[in-house]
């Protein structure tokens, strides 16, 4: 009673080798957690897309106070962006080390990633404080609210990422993240890179294109 | 428990689907994962692209500024996705899941901004 | 073959699970398998599905009472049952409750219960997250409704248009409960959507390709993907509104230069996919029911699948048809008018396919079949009125009148709700081992069907005669009196039919006490869930089935003779599983999902009243997150599941190759779930 509608479909005969760290069979050959993270990141596109669009709509609307674009310090933000970009490198080196079983090195790179993330966040805090002092608070205008909500949400995502990274380091130091569990580090890495990629969008669309 | 131990078992299974054979699963197979040096090279390129973006900001080439900035942004975006996030080497399913979200977001939000006549102003 | 334990931050070192180790959660792992505690800590998708079902039904009663209040108020001109302010709260909460706390979770009940069974899995991808989704929904729904006694409920309509819903025009806390409550239930839905998406994409039994899945599974998958992508948009809108109301952000303030359409656009970008989220599960249900009671396979399976995907996809391109009268300009209006007309096509395809399934079939009009056919008829009517809305000039007359209210209810009540009731009657014997009474079921159907048409049919007329929506009363002499009265009588008839249903549930249960189960396959059905015993044992399948075609279960029972006629080849005893398999490990129960979700409403209360509550709630959330992360997915010291393990059982000893693949896919829950299937005999093949 076999049907014919099976060839040419990627998710076809559902018998695959056992998946990496998880050890259980899945149709894609990849773990549930990794697939789950990618689906989640797909949904995050809609969230950040909306935040960016709201900002784009309102970027020039300020009855009171300065517009965000009047206050940008591009050199400062460029350095910030560079820091976050490099944190993606350290993240990927951490995953790589973890996969080779070099756990102390993996931890070092994870700490480096968290540190770079922390520097980025400090930069954001400094930048926002400066903006507030220059007269652009959260409630000052439409443009201000939209700007702070967008960058604030991004910053919150980075902060959550830092907490996850440090938790990973702590767990690893307690022996709970062996080489076989490299995928866990990889999945945290996916989240981290996504947050970096959103900043790539924000840096260009919000800061550079005026 | 490494996956290589179980490969022979799954090969015995009758309706073996070979569409997965080329995809390396989570084996630590260095052929399928870029080397650290490769990652560093990608990072250097990303840094250079960022420099280019900032240069464009300070020395805008007239009407080409915005398209070029967008192009650079897209290149950086895709590079992080393909190499750092490993999409180039992983199951197409991940790419589909993410691109679905991304594509939908871009389409829908461009449409909304059009309803607001954003492009005219 | 025992597998290693793999969980982020879990405590094993990745060794074989049979190695001795101390599972070190924060507290002792719960072990209850019966009693109320087992429900609080369950991670079993079936129990979770049942809890969704009962909770959604409870909210149906709440929303129903709100509806009766509305109809009581509008029964006569210048009614005095509800004042204007209260009326606004009642109709708002009626909508919010029915959409977010009834239809969505009722569909989730079916999706949760059935999806693993229909794809041949033992549970969903992330069982604890599944439990979390339920508790989060429950607490969010309760939080939302406590607004009634904490200063008044939301009163801006379920669509909450800003700036009307800003603090200037809506000063009470009601809308804060709205934004925060829906954010909480949104988290629940998003988590569940990721969970079920991964489950369907990754955990299907051997041989269960995508194009062999039951239509209900397909529709549920499309719904989960719609949720994954639509929920962030309403999350954004609610956050913008919440920031404006609580923190004075300027997003919708026209005096600050805000565009009044921002909210509408964001809301409806979510809102339109949302209505497909509401209807597709019911489409899936009737696509299961109609073939069984026509004794024919679904007509045009690929068309049913692709039309479902098309609806999901095209649903993103029509949202501004809710905004034709809001000044978006002629180009936008024309564009969305066209896209809206196009989206009628895939739905039409489905209606035709259901009819074609029935055509030439051997029809039995059991209660589930009555409800399913009811959906086909009533949704067609609702869809036709929808097509009249697509024509923008006529919609300009219809919008904001009772004509739209008629449309909404024909598609959501006549469509979604009738489909859900069909599902209850159809799957009740599988879940509980006894039928819901047929005679009372038919009484329920006819009372509901007649009451429903009496309530909402006249609204088409009222709308075209000019009766506005969302008005708390109307004057005498406008010509609205008669049909409003008819509508109110209809509403109370519906209420009676719901009572009949409830009595049916109770009576069927008591009559079934002490009776043997009706067996695995009382309706002679087609999909995999019907080969398990009824009620379904905790482990689902003693042996994961190997699938060789669509309607796998049917093909194991029936073959064809030389003339192409259906011949029963194997009896239920041969094909279905007997209960009582042993040695199957299941994911252990856990407290943390309920602990984590418990904190969320308090974060909400804090943001409305006093931040001390937020601190209190945050403690639970953090404790929940860390407890969860530190807890292994399975507790080996206290193994949960049926009886003993068969630790030494080596599946490759059993010879048949099919067995091995059955085993390896038995390990299909959270990463590295230690799993041992009890292999008793070979998978029977028809």
Q: For the segment A6-33, what is each residue's pLDDT rounded down to a tens digit?
A: 333 344 344 444 443 344 678 888 889 9
C34: pLDDT confidence band, cut at 50, 70 and 90?
confident
Q: Is C469 exposed, middle or buried (0-12, 13-18, 19+ CB in 10 A)?
A: middle
In sign, the C-alpha dihedral spanning C360, C362, C368, C374 is: positive
Pair (B59, B105) in one structural domain = no
User: Biggest alpha carbon distance in chain C?
Assistant: 85
| Mean pLDDT of all residues belonging to chain C | 88
Q: Are A85 and B46 in contact (CB under 8 A)?
A: yes
Residues 26-85 of A with CB under 8 A from C: 26-28, 30-33, 35-36, 39-40, 42-44, 46-47, 50-51, 54, 57-58, 61-63
Nearest CB among B7, B83, B113 relative to A57 is that of: B113
Instruction: Report yes or no on B18 lying in a domain.
Output: no
Apex C675 CA angle, C669 and C678, nearest 5: 120
pLDDT on residue C580: 85
Q: How many domains does chain B fold into?
A: 2
Strands C566-568 and C558-560: antiparallel
Instruction: Report yes or no on B76 lying in a domain.
Output: yes
Pair (B61, B101) in one structural domain = no
Percent of chain C surpassing pLDDT 70: 88
Pair (B79, B103) in one structural domain = no
Q: B103: which chain C residues are within 8 Å (Cβ-Cβ)?
A: none
Q: Is the pLDDT of residue C146 over 70?
A: yes
Q: Is the pLDDT of residue C119 over 60?
A: yes
Mean pLDDT on A57-65 = 92
Q: Is the pLDDT of residue C310 over 60?
A: yes
* Contact between chains at C256 and A149 (C-beta distance less than 8 A): no
Q: In sequence order, which residues have a C-beta less than 8 Å from that of residue C42 and are 6 or more positions away?
A: C48, C131, C589
CATH code, C31-279:
1.20.210.10
Mean pLDDT on C79-86 = 94
Chain A touched by B55 (CB under 8 Å): no
pLDDT on residue C648: 39
What is the DSSP track for C164-204?
A: TTSTTT--STHHHHHHHHHHHHHHHHHHHHHHHHHHHHH-P
Distance in Å, alpha carbon of C241 to nearest chain B alpha carbon? 18
Q: Is C516 exposed, middle or buried (0-12, 13-18, 19+ CB in 10 A)?
A: exposed
In Å, what is the CA distance from C438 to each residue of B30, C271, C442? 64, 37, 6
What's phi and psi for C251, nearest 5 deg?
-120, -35
Q: For the segment C193-211, what is each residue's pLDDT rounded down to a tens digit?
A: 999 999 999 999 999 999 9
Q: For the segment B30-78, what is each residue's pLDDT rounded down to a tens digit?
A: 446 788 999 999 999 999 999 999 999 999 888 889 999 999 999 999 9
ipTM score: 0.90
Q: For the segment C416-443, what is each residue's pLDDT rounded down to a tens digit?
A: 999 999 999 999 999 999 999 999 999 9
Q: B83: which chain A residues are within 8 Å (Cβ-Cβ)?
A: 92
Instruction: Tell me which chains share at least 3 CB pairs under 8 Å with chain A.
Output: B, C
Instruction: Report yes or no on B84 lying in a domain.
Output: yes
Pair (B95, B84) in one structural domain = no
Mean pLDDT on C177-206 = 96
Pair (B42, B74) in one structural domain = yes
Percent of chain A surpassing pLDDT 90: 80
pLDDT on residue C467: 96
Higher-confidence residue of A2 and C474: namely C474
Pair (B100, B83) in one structural domain = no
Q: B101: which chain C residues are within 8 Å (Cβ-Cβ)?
A: 228-229
Name which of C325, C229, A197, C263 is nearest B108 in CA terms.
C229
Mean pLDDT on C406-418 = 97
Instruction: Tell me which chains share at least 3 CB pairs under 8 Å with chain B.
Output: A, C
pLDDT on residue C258: 92
Name which of A118, A122, A202, A82 is nearest A154 in CA terms.
A202
Residues spanned by the domain of B113: 91-121
Q: Are C195 and C129 in contact (CB under 8 A)?
A: yes
A134: pLDDT confidence band, cut at 50, 70 and 90?
very high
pLDDT on residue A24: 64
pLDDT on residue C640: 52
Q: Are C62 and C145 in contact (CB under 8 A)?
A: yes
Apex C319 CA angle, C317 and C323, nearest 5: 140
Q: Are C339 and C392 in contact (CB under 8 A)?
A: no
| Mean pLDDT of all residues belonging to chain B | 78
The domains located in chain A, with CATH, are 32-208 (1.20.120.80)
For C476, which DSSP code? T
Pair (B85, B39) in one structural domain = yes
Q: For the segment A143-201, what is each residue's pLDDT rounded down to a tens digit?
A: 999 999 999 999 999 999 999 999 999 999 998 889 988 999 999 999 999 999 999 99
Q: For the segment C616-627, what is each residue's pLDDT rounded down to a tens digit?
A: 999 999 999 999
- State which of B88-97, C222-231, C665-674 shows the largest mean pLDDT: C222-231
pLDDT on residue C317: 93
Q: Are C463 and C404 in contact (CB under 8 A)?
A: yes
* Contact between chains at C269 and B108 (C-beta distance less than 8 A): yes
Name which of B95, C546, C220 is nearest A30 in CA terms.
B95
C28: pLDDT confidence band, cut at 50, 70 and 90?
low
Instruction: Report yes or no on B75 lying in a domain.
Output: yes
pLDDT on residue C666: 36
Q: For the segment A193-210, what is each residue's pLDDT rounded down to a tens digit?
A: 999 999 999 999 999 987
Instruction: Report yes or no on B53 lying in a domain.
Output: yes
C635: pLDDT confidence band, cut at 50, 70 and 90?
low
Q: B3: which chain A residues are within 8 Å (Cβ-Cβ)?
A: 17-20
For C500, which DSSP code? H
Instruction: Report yes or no on B23 lying in a domain.
Output: no
- The SS3 call for residue C567 is strand
Q: Is the pLDDT of residue B15 over 70?
A: no
pLDDT on residue A210: 74
pLDDT on residue C575: 87
Q: In sequence order, which residues have a C-beta less than 8 Å from that of residue C627 and are 6 or more positions away?
A: C25, C26, C27, C591, C592, C595
Q: B93: which chain C residues are within 8 Å (Cβ-Cβ)?
A: 201
Q: C231: which chain A residues are within 8 Å (Cβ-Cβ)?
A: 43
Distance CA C531, CA C524 (A): 10
Pair (B81, B99) in one structural domain = no
Pair (B72, B98) in one structural domain = no
Instruction: Report yes or no on B10 lying in a domain.
Output: no
Distance CA C315, CA B8 (A): 46
Pair (B80, B109) in one structural domain = no
Instruction: Report yes or no on B14 lying in a domain.
Output: no
Name which of A177, A188, A183 is nearest A24 in CA terms.
A183
pLDDT on residue B30: 43
Q: For the segment C523-537, what is each residue's pLDDT rounded down to a tens digit?
A: 999 999 999 999 999
pLDDT on residue C557: 92
Nearest CB among B9, B15, B112 relative to C660 is that of: B9
Q: Is the pLDDT of residue C677 over 60?
A: no
Mean pLDDT on A124-133 = 96
């Amino acid at each position: 009673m076999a049907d014919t509608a099976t060839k040419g479909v990627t998710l076809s005969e559902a018998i695959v080798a056992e998946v990496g760290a998880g050890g259980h069979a899945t149709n894609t050959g990849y773990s549930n957690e990794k697939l789950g993270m990618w689906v989640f990141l797909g949904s995050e596109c809609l969230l950040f897309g909306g935040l960016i669009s709201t900002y784009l709509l309102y970027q020039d609307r300020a009855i009171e106070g300065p517009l965000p674009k009047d206050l940008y310090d591009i050199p400062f933000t460029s350095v910030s962006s560079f820091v976050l970009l490099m944190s993606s490198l350290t993240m990927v080196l951490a995953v790589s080390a973890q996969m080779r079983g070099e756990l102390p090195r993996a931890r070092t790179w994870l700490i480096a990633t968290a540190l770079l993330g922390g520097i980025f966040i400090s930069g954001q805090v400094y930048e926002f404080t400066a903006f507030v002092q220059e007269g652009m608070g959260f409630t000052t205008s439409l443009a201000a609210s939209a700007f702070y909500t967008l960058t604030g949400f991004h910053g919150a995502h980075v902060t959550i990422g830092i907490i996850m990274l440090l938790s990973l380091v702590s767990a690893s130091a307690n022996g709970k993240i062996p080489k076989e569990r490299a995928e866990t580090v990889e999945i945290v890495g996916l989240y981290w890179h996504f947050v970096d990629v959103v900043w790539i969008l924000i840096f260009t669309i919000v800061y550079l294109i005026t | 428990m490494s996956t290589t131990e179980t490969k022979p078992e799954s090969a015995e299974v009758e309706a073996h689907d070979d569409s997965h054979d080329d995809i390396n699963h989570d084996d630590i197979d260095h052929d399928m994962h870029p080397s650290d040096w490769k990652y560093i090279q990608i990072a250097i390129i990303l840094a250079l692209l960022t420099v280019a973006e900032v240069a464009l900001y300070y020395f805008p080439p007239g009407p080409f500024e915005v398209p070029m900035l967008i192009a650079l942004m897209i290149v950086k975006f895709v590079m992080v996705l393909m190499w750092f996030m490993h999409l180039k080497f992983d199951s197409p399913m991940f790419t589909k899941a993410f691109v679905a979200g991304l594509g939908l977001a871009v389409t829908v939000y461009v449409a909304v901004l059009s309803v607001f006549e954003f492009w005219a102003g | 073959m025992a597998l290693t334990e793999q969980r982020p931050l879990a405590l094993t070192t990745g060794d074989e699970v049979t190695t001795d180790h101390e599972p070190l959660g924060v507290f002792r792992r719960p072990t209850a398998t019966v009693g109320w505690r087992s429900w609080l800590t369950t991670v079993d998708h079936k129990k979770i599905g049942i809890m969704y079902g009962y909770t959604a039904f409870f909210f149906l009663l709440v929303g129903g009472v709100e509806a009766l209040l509305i109809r009581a108020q509008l029964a006569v001109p210048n009614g005095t049952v509800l004042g204007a302010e209260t009326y606004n709260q009642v109709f708002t909460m009626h909508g919010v409750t029915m959409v977010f706390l009834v239809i969505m979770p009722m569909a989730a009940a079916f999706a949760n219960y059935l999806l693993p069974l229909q794809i041949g899995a033992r549970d969903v991808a992330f069982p604890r997250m599944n439990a979390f989704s339920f508790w989060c929904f429950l607490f969010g729904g309760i939080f939302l409704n406590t607004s009634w006694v904490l200063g008044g409920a939301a009163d801006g309509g379920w669509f909450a248009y800003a700036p009307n819903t800003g603090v200037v025009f809506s000063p009470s806390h009601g809308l804060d409960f709205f934004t925060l409550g829906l954010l909480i239930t949104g988290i629940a839905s998003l988590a569940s959507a990721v969970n079920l998406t991964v489950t369907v994409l990754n955990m299907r039994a051997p041989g269960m390709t995508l194009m062999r899945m039951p239509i209900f599974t397909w529709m549920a998958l499309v719904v989960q993907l719609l949720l994954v992508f639509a929920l962030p948009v309403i999350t954004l809108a609610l956050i913008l509104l919440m920031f404006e109301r609580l923190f004075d952000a300027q997003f919708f303030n026209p005096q600050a230069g805000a565009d009044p359409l921002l909210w509408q656009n964001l809301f409806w970008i979510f809102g339109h996919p949302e209505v497909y989220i509401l209807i597709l599960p019911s489409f899936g249900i009737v696509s299961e029911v109609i073939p069984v009671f026509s004794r024919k396979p679904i007509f045009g399976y690929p068309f049913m699948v692709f039309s479902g995907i098309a609806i999901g996809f095209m649903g993103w391109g029509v949202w501004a048809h809710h905004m034709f009268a809001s000044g978006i300009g002629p180009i936008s209006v024309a564009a969305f008018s066209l896209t809206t007309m196009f989206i009628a096509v895939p739905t039409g395809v489905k209606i035709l396919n259901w009819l074609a399934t029935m055509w030439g079939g051997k029809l039995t009009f059991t209660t589930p079949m009555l409800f399913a056919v009811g959906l086909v008829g009533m949704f067609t009517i609702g869809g036709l009125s929808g097509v009249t809305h697509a024509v923008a000039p006529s919609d300009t007359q219809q919008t904001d009148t009772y004509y739209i209210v008629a449309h909404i209810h024909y598609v959501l009540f006549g469509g979604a709700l009738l489909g859900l009731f069909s599902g209850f009657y159809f799957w009740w014997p599988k879940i509980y081992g006894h039928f819901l009474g047929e005679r009372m079921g038919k009484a329920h159907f006819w009372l509901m069907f007649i009451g429903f048409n009496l309530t909402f049919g006249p609204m088409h007329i009222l709308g075209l005669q000019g009766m506005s929506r969302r008005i708390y009363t109307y004057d005498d002499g406008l010509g609205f009196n008669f049909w409003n009265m008819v509508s109110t009588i209809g509403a109370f008839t519906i209420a009676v039919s719901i009572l009949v249903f409830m009595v049916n549930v109770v009576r069927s249960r008591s009559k079934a006490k002490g009776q043997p189960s009706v067996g695995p396959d009382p309706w002679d059905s087609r999909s995999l869930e019907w080969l398990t015993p009824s009620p379904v044992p905790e482990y689902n399948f003693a042996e994961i089935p190997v699938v060789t075609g669509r309607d796998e279960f049917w093909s194991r029972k029936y073959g064809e003779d030389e003339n192409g006629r259906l011949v029963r080849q194997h009896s239920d005893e041969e094909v279905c599983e007997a209960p009582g398999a042993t040695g199957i490990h299941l994911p252990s129960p856990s407290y943390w999902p309920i602990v984590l979700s418990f904190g969320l409403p308090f974060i909400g209360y804090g943001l409305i009243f006093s931040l001390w509550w937020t601190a209190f709630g945050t403690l639970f959330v953090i404790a929940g997150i860390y407890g969860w992360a530190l807890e292994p997915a399975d507790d080996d010291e206290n193994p949960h599941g049926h009886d003993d393990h068969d630790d030494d059982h080596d599946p490759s000893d059993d010879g048949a190759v099919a067995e091995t693949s059955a085993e390896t896919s038995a390990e299909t829950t959270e990463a590295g779930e230690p799993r041992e299937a009890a292999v008793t005999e070979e998978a029977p093949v028809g």
